[in-house]
Structure formats: C-alpha cells, structure tokens
Amino acid sequence: MSTDCKVTPIIKSKILLVEGKDEINLFSALLVDLGLEESIQLIDTAGINNLTTEIASVQARSGYRIVESIGIIRDADSDSDAAFQSVCSSLTNNNLPTPQGQLIPQIEDGKPKVVVLIIPYGKPTGMLENVCLESVEDDPAMDCIDNFFECLSAKNRELSKNDIPKARVRAFLASREWMEIAYFESLQDCANSNVAMAPISPATATPRVHMFLSSRYTPNLALGQAAGKTNREDRYWNFEHKCFDSIKNFLIMI
C-alpha cells in the first residue's frame, strides 16, 4: 500500500492511477498542458504489481464517494495484451467496471466510469520511456545516442530489451544536462565580466548572488522531472508530438 493512499483524501471527482513517482511528475505536467490539472487527481500505486490492493485502498479512502471516473495507465512491458488483462483483473477483483478495450470507457449504474490505456498505445511491447524518446526522435542528440549504444554493443555491453529504453532516456537527459551546464557556465562568464565593472553596492548585491547561484547549477533529472521543462525553449519531452496523442485522448476521456 502506498503512503499516498494512506494520507491523501480524494478531493476530485476524476482520479488517475499511475505506476510511480516518475509518472506522477510527467502526467502532472501533461495535465497542466491540457488544462486538466484542476479536475483530475493523480494517485501513485507504487508499482503495477500493487494495483489490485491499491484500488481497494483508494475505494476506502476518505472522499471516494465523489469519484465519478477512474483512469488507469500502465506500461505494456513485454506484452500489451497481458498488461491490459492484468488491469482488468484488478478492476474485476474490486467490483469495478471492466472496459472491453483500451480507450473504451466502461460505464455501469452506480459505479465510476473506468478508462484504461496501455502505453505505448497500439504497440505489443514498450513503456513510457519509449513514448518520451519518440517525442524527441528528431533531436540532433539522438544520433549521438544511437552511436553510443552501437559502440557499447560492439564492445559486448548488451542490455536487456526492457532496460534499453530506460538507458536511452538517461543518455538523452545527460545530453540536456551537458547543454545546460555549458549554458550556465557561459552566463557565469558574462556575469563575471559585466558585474566586475560595476561598483559594489546594495543595488548590485542581489544580482551577484543570483549569478553565483547560477554557476552552482547541478542538474539531476529523472524522466518525470524532465517533463516540467517542456515549456522551455530547450524543451525536453515534446508533448506536441503525435506519440502523445493517445495519452492526451485518454486523459480527456477520464
């Protein structure tokens, strides 16, 4: 049972169950992007293997009586069909409506509407990392990342199939961190040369502090945290990419 379910009451009529903290961060950003953050409450199930018990915990949570709709999203992993059936079993075990398929809302009298999505949608295997990587497939860094993993393979450093998307995400985020460090170092050089010519006074103290702090910038992003940077010019995951369309449709359906 997740800590979230123990302490947080239901305060919204729509709830979305996700697998972990990364998903909480990413879907929080996506809900803001869609203007749905005020209507959908995110709940961390602390792993898909806990889904059956977590649904029961949510049903026992204070405020559950106001719930009108439940969305569940999870990775396909090695078998999308098996993942969907697993979610349906968890719903059946908790006496909730069981959808006939993905993105098909199931409605029964006196019970919340239920919508399920397995990602990447329409593909037999994969995970959220695959969707995020597809959204940046045109980024110049991806060529470097491909070369990196080809080099590892040539040196007999093979990863398991399920580990490759996660490793590629880390490599992509490393490219963004490298760029940001270079950017902040450039700012620091400019700041040092400009502020050095200004007299020290209360008026220059604050910007000097801010410039010093920028020089100490140390990025350490996970997949979900990187989603919070999608509105920046140097955006990370591209929510406008078509690979996010099924997820957006799912969130609107809830």
> What is the secondary structure of 17-53 as a DSSP string?
EESSHHHHHHHHHHHHHHT-TTTEEEEE-SSGGGHHH
Least-confidence region, from 4-13, 31-40, 41-50: 4-13
The predicted structure's pLDDT at residue 168: 85
Question: Where exactly are the structural domains of the chain?
Answer: 3-128+247-253
Q: Band of the pLDDT at 211, cuts 50, 70, 90?
A: very low
CA distances from residue 1 to 4, 20, 52 in whole angstroms, order as listed? 8, 12, 10
Give the mean model confidence (pLDDT) for residues 5-24: 88
CA dihedral over 63, 64, 69, 71, signed as positive or negative: positive
How far is it, in rounded angstroms, from Cα 170 to Cα 73? 22
How far is it, in rounded angstroms, from Cα 214 to Cα 196? 16
- Does residue 98 sit in helix, strand or coil? coil
Give the mean model confidence (pLDDT) for residues 169-194: 63
H-state helical runs in the chain: 3-7, 21-34, 51-59, 80-93, 128-135, 141-154, 163-195, 202-215, 223-226, 245-253
Q: Are 169 and 129 in contact (CB under 8 A)?
A: yes
Give the mean model confidence (pLDDT) for residues 157-175: 79
Q: Band of the pLDDT at 98, cuts 50, 70, 90?
A: very high
The predicted structure's pLDDT at residue 215: 38
Q: Band of the pLDDT at 5, cuts 50, 70, 90?
A: very low
- Could you tell me which residues come within 8 angstroms of residue 252 by beta carbon, excluding any fewer than 6 positions away? 34, 36
Give the mean model confidence (pLDDT) for residues 170-178: 74
Give the mean model confidence (pLDDT) for residues 163-184: 72
Q: Band of the pLDDT at 175, cuts 50, 70, 90?
A: confident
Q: How far is CA 77 from the centre of its chain?
A: 16
- Could you tell me which residues come within 8 angstroms of residue 133 by beta carbon, excluding any fewer than 6 positions away? 142, 165, 168, 169, 172
How far is it, in rounded angstroms, from Cα 233 to Cα 205? 29
pTM: 0.78
Tokens of 143: 């060529």
The predicted structure's pLDDT at residue 180: 58
| Average pLDDT score over the chain | 81
- Does residue 198 sit in helix, strand or coil? coil
- Does residue 197 sit in helix, strand or coil? coil
Residue from 154, 152, 155 nearest 167 by CA: 152
The predicted structure's pLDDT at residue 177: 64
CATH of 3-128+247-253, picked from 3.40.50, 2.60.40, 3.30.1490, 3.30.70, is: 3.40.50
Higher pLDDT, 170 or 178: 170
